[in-house]
Amino acid sequence: MSNILKRIFKRNTHNFILKGLSGFGRSMNRMYENRNHDPYSNGESTVLKKLNTLSPATIIDGGSNVGDYSVLATRFCPDAKLFAFEPVVSTFNLLKKNVLAYKNITPVNAGLYSGNIQKEIKIYNSHTHSSLYEIKGVDYSVQKTEIIELMKGDLYMEQNSIYKIDFLKLDIEGAELDALKGFEKALTNRTIRMIQFEYGYINITSKNLLVDYYDYLNKFNFIIGKIYPKHVEFRNYKFKHEDFIGPNYIAIHESDNLLKNLLKNR
């Protein structure tokens, strides 16, 4: 009898009632899994607030765009020196203007990457969507392209006498893993304490899956956790986490119990 009922239910899963419930369930799941890009409510500001209790000296904002996050980070961590990377010239000019009043923010007209190279970047219909990758599955299209300068993070650290990075934040539209590979020396020497990287739908286009971040960072004994509004949930990789909901993950060295406990506590 139970098998008959199951078959009847499965044959009718696409009726209008269950279809509506399914859509509601997906919406609730995205809300629970924190599909939210507002730093004041998605946990990013909470991370910065907790970080400031450890007196960070150096922050790198990879993909600063027009500087909104750089300014936010400076407000929460006022004593830290921040390097704001933005490779697109028109966006970089807006960044310089927006951070002019913040003496501890250094704008850098370059992008972070696995090597020192020039590449073509695709510019979409807003300053927040410029990517090395052609973003698929969206309603907007490429407006123009531009050749940009890209550089390894290790080289920038060496050239500017940066001996330690307290917080490396990467939001570069699908190229976050490429940028991380440019910090191989710093990761090996443990001169980066905490990394925040974005993961979401664009990773379908870039083909850099969440598991690839785990595989790369685990080589340096870093652990990874997802940012929620009030805490970071550190966890081992599972297939179910490959949901492309995003938005942000944190990576720290497995031995950094002080930072781990600070971030995971609500």
Model pLDDT for residues 229-253, shown as the tens digit of each residue: 999 999 999 999 999 998 999 999 9
pTM of the model: 0.92
DSSP 64: -
pLDDT for position 128: 63
pLDDT for position 225: 98
Helix (H) or strand (E) holding 234, with range, is: strand 232-234
pLDDT for position 136: 76
The segments of the chain whose pLDDT lies below 50 read: none
Compute CA distances 156 → 58, 60, 150, 162, 166, whole Å.
Answer: 13, 11, 11, 8, 15
